[in-house]
Amino acid sequence: MQSFEKLGAFYLGKEFDPAAGKTTDDLLLYDAKDLTTHAVCVGMTGSGKTGLCVGLLEEAAIDGIPALVIDPKGDLGNLLLTFPKLRPADFLPWIDPGEAARKGATPEAYAADRAALWKKGLAQWGEDGARIAAFRKAVDLAIYTPGSNAGLELSVLRSFAAPPPEVVDDGDLFRERITAAVSGLLALLGIDADPLRSREHILLSNILQAAWGSGRDLDIAGLIGEIQSPPFTRIGVMDLDAFYPPGDRFELAMSLNNLLASPGFASWMRGDPLDIQSLLWTPEGKPRLTIISIAHLSDPERMFIVTLLLNEMLAWIRTQSGTSSLRALLYMDEVFGYFPPTANPPSKRPMLTLLKQARAFGVGVVLATQNPVDLDYKGLSNTGTWFLGRLQTERDKARVLDGLEGASSSSGAAFDRARIERLLSGLQSRVFLMNNVHDDGPTLFHTRWALSYLRGPLTRSHIQTLMAPRKAAVAASAGAKTAKRAAVAAAAPTPAPEAPAVPKPTLPPGVEERFAPRRGLLAEGDRLLYRPAVMASARLHFVKARTELDHWRETTRLVLLPEHPGPTLWEEGEETAWGFDDLEIAAEGGATYGDLPREAGKARSYTSWGKVLKSFLYRTEAWNLWSSRNPKAVSAPEESRSEFAARLSILQRERRDLNLAKLEKRYGPKLARVQERIRKAALRVEREKAQFKQKSMESAVSIGATVLGALFGRRTRIGSIGRGASSIKGVGRARKERGDIGRATEDLRAQQARLEELEAEFQEALAAVRDKADPALLDVEEVAVRPRKADIAVEEICLVWTPWRLTADGKSEPLYD
């Protein structure tokens, strides 16, 4: 079997011969760069559509390309069911007992059957457990379940953060972002709002425009406040209260507040932020295959999350550099209802914008559906590759042909409607017609065997099982931070539960105090305890010669005060996300206070602690730059390790694609010339063989005639002698032709040897390109830049009382973030 592990080539299957009704030996290797012009996959249930798309995502992962997968049905979680050892025990937890019973087998027996089937199926397509292991090693796999804690949780609050300047500065894109965000939110509230006529839509759009235009973030709580008191007094030429009276605005705010207050919505505010960079790459820069499972959500909730994801993807690509190589994939399964031909749901506009603009940034969009009549084929005219499987009705076929004809017309490619219609009519399961505008014509192919075990949609418990190790790791990290804070708290004395409330200590002039805001609730029997801490803000200046680094950074530190603060005071502190503006000037009533160290009551102590903080920050703070030798690059000042590694990956891929193009340009003509010489040499051998055969026959006939004439003929003996001499010459010519055959054969062998030599040279050059492009060889080093000591400035420092919950059994828990 041919090798399918080619650079930048996706092994999707083998070409299919419709006349013979079987696959050929020719592999279908899809060029990864072709996906930058997007793809659509259409096929009815049972056509093999899921298997094809899973195979496409597997190939992308093996090639080091990250993917964000939107999964409305729950099928794509199967990508995590990959078992390199292919043991029955690996399959057993994922076997459907009901399906096993219908097959008349126990779960154990059915698991053994599936394991044997997968091992055999993979072998038939030249695959094995080693390729499964390579897939699992290449990417980080995760399932997110927004609005549910079954998988990893995804917070959507960040989606109302101000988009990057690249989006704000693009007027059309900025308006589209606002429209889609507001439409998605109103859809979640059950309001079908026209952007040009709906008061709700116009009001919210103006609020977001005012906030985002000034670079100000909004969360849902902030949005509720601004609905009641918008930062403007007029909408258009009308007074705000006339356009949307305060009472009506209050009702809209209450609707949004009810959503926010509902127990089910709390899960929408927990988990990882909706950040495309972190969904596509790990902090270490490893590509991710992230599945956003939305099968558990209602239709309005699905529309809301899909719209947010598409908008975030649009905002993200605007921050990326342009490239002709494939950077990442956005895949959506069952796009039915999200990109319809006539209606305009909130998801349609950002999807259309992505299809038009993502190509320039190396992002490929892949859409799949089994409902071809519900696709906007005019929008899909930007799609370069169509994978067409078995269709259910003639209407479906006609709609697909219309769309395919439009896409071919837009790209300038030829389109033979009658031929493609004939091919579509005879498709079998797992056989697809691929129409790629980058190829000379359509291709029929049979999909390869999936590396992943395709068991069907995953249940909630399945997702919980798959994501349990990841959740445990996150919990352990959070637990370490909580344990550190608890250890500090344990070192401070805690008042007995029955002890009377201790009043706040009186502070001398010159000692400033503030109160951290309380973030948690007190249950019945709990008491509010304030513990003393010292908080300081400082400015740090980082400068690095021969780089672009010349940056100031602010940091705010908080440390609970021990009984005797010393030179190591700040060692137990932590950086806070909030600053002095978030502190309150008064405490809550009825609280008790922890002991205040004597040093904290002296103004000069804070001056001393500020000096200690300077020294501490110089020793411990650093601006982490990242550098790479191959390719040679240094990270930008604000670039994280993940972003830098992702940039290196695309630089590496671009260099790989450029080197491949150079190799093809260098060796293509040489190989073509030698192949042409081989063709001509083979023709010459056949011609010489034919001439030798003809001359041999002529000589044989001539000799026979001479002998017969000499014995029985009436001619003279001299004439017989003349014919005999001619016959001898014919034998000589035949011998010469035999020599010509030998020389032609030697020439053919020489050209074949030259071809083998060239191919070996070409493969050696390809191997060198492959080795240089191996993501595992990326060597990212951390360069720690210390702050300039003379520029470190402590700007504010004061005593801060931190709120704690004191329970009836004497335990205390922090109530501040």
Alpha-carbon gap, residue 748 to 767, rounded angstroms = 28
Is residue 750 very low, low, confident or very high in pLDDT (cuts 50, 70, 90)?
confident
Considering the entire predicted model, what is its pTM?
A: 0.78
Q: Measuring CA to CA, how many Å separate 219 from each of 20, 178, 184, 367?
A: 61, 14, 15, 31
Alpha-carbon gap, residue 64 to 61, rounded angstroms = 5
Neighbouring CB atoms inside 10 A of 383's CB total 24
Domain boundaries along the sequence of the chain = 155-270, 492-622+787-814, 641-777
pLDDT at 715 over 60: no
Q: Looking at residues 442-471, what average pLDDT do you find?
A: 94
Write the DSSP symbol of residue 590.
T
Q: Report the pLDDT value the prediction gives residue 486, as an integer from 0 to 100.
A: 62
How remote is the C-alpha of 249 from its chain's centroid?
A: 40
Enter the tokens of residue 240.
Answer: 């705000």
Comparing CA positions, the residue from 326, 261, 315 lying closest to residue 287 is: 326
Q: Express each pLDDT in 307-329 by its tens digit.
A: 989 988 998 998 888 998 999 99
SS3 629: strand
Is residue 737 very low, low, confident or very high in pLDDT (cuts 50, 70, 90)?
low
The answer to whether the CB of 442 falls within 8 A of the CB of 434 is: yes
Alpha-carbon gap, residue 303 to 291, rounded angstroms = 16
Q: Express each pLDDT in 664-700 by its tens digit.
A: 888 888 888 888 888 888 888 888 777 767 766 665 5
Q: Report the pLDDT value the prediction gives residue 702, as an integer from 0 to 100.
A: 58
pLDDT at 340 over 80: yes
In the predicted model, what is the mean pLDDT of the chain? Answer: 86
Q: Express each pLDDT in 496-544 by its tens digit.
A: 555 566 788 888 888 999 999 988 778 888 889 999 999 999 999 999 8
Q: Report the pLDDT value the prediction gives residue 206, as an integer from 0 to 100.
A: 94
Element at 22 (helix H, strand E): strand 22-31
Q: Express each pLDDT in 185-218 by its tens digit.
A: 888 788 878 888 899 999 999 999 999 998 888 8
Enter the tokens of residue 378.
Answer: 């005019």
SS3 531: strand
Comparing CA positions, the residue from 610, 572, 584 lying closest to residue 513 is: 584
Q: Report the pLDDT value the prediction gives residue 83, as an integer from 0 to 100.
A: 96
Parallel, antiparallel, or unpaired for β 140-144 and 288-293?
parallel
Q: Report the pLDDT value the prediction gives residue 503, as an integer from 0 to 100.
A: 83
Lowest mean pLDDT among 185-199, 634-648, 766-780: 766-780
Is residue 107 very low, low, confident or very high in pLDDT (cuts 50, 70, 90)?
very high
Q: Express each pLDDT in 215-274 by its tens digit.
A: 888 888 788 889 999 999 999 889 999 999 999 999 999 988 888 777 777 778 788 888
Q: Measuring CA to CA, how many Å separate 212 from each of 199, 225, 467?
A: 20, 16, 35
Element at 632 (helix H, strand E): strand 632-634
Write the DSSP symbol of residue 152.
B
Q: Express each pLDDT in 414-430 by its tens digit.
A: 777 888 888 888 899 99
Q: Looking at residues 171-183, what average pLDDT do you find?
A: 84
91 CB-near residues (< 8 Å, 6+ apart): 83, 111, 112, 114, 115, 118, 453
Q: What percent of the chain has pLDDT over 90?
A: 44
Is residue 66 very low, low, confident or very high in pLDDT (cuts 50, 70, 90)?
very high
Q: Report the pLDDT value the prediction gives residue 716, as an integer from 0 to 100.
A: 46
Alpha-carbon gap, residue 421 to 398, rounded angstroms = 9
Secondary-structure percent of the chain, ordered helix, strand, coil, rounded to 5: 50, 20, 30
Q: Looking at residues 112-133, what average pLDDT do you find?
A: 96
Give 765 or 457, the one with higher predicted confidence: 457
Comparing CA positions, the residue from 446, 436, 456 lying closest to residue 390 is: 446
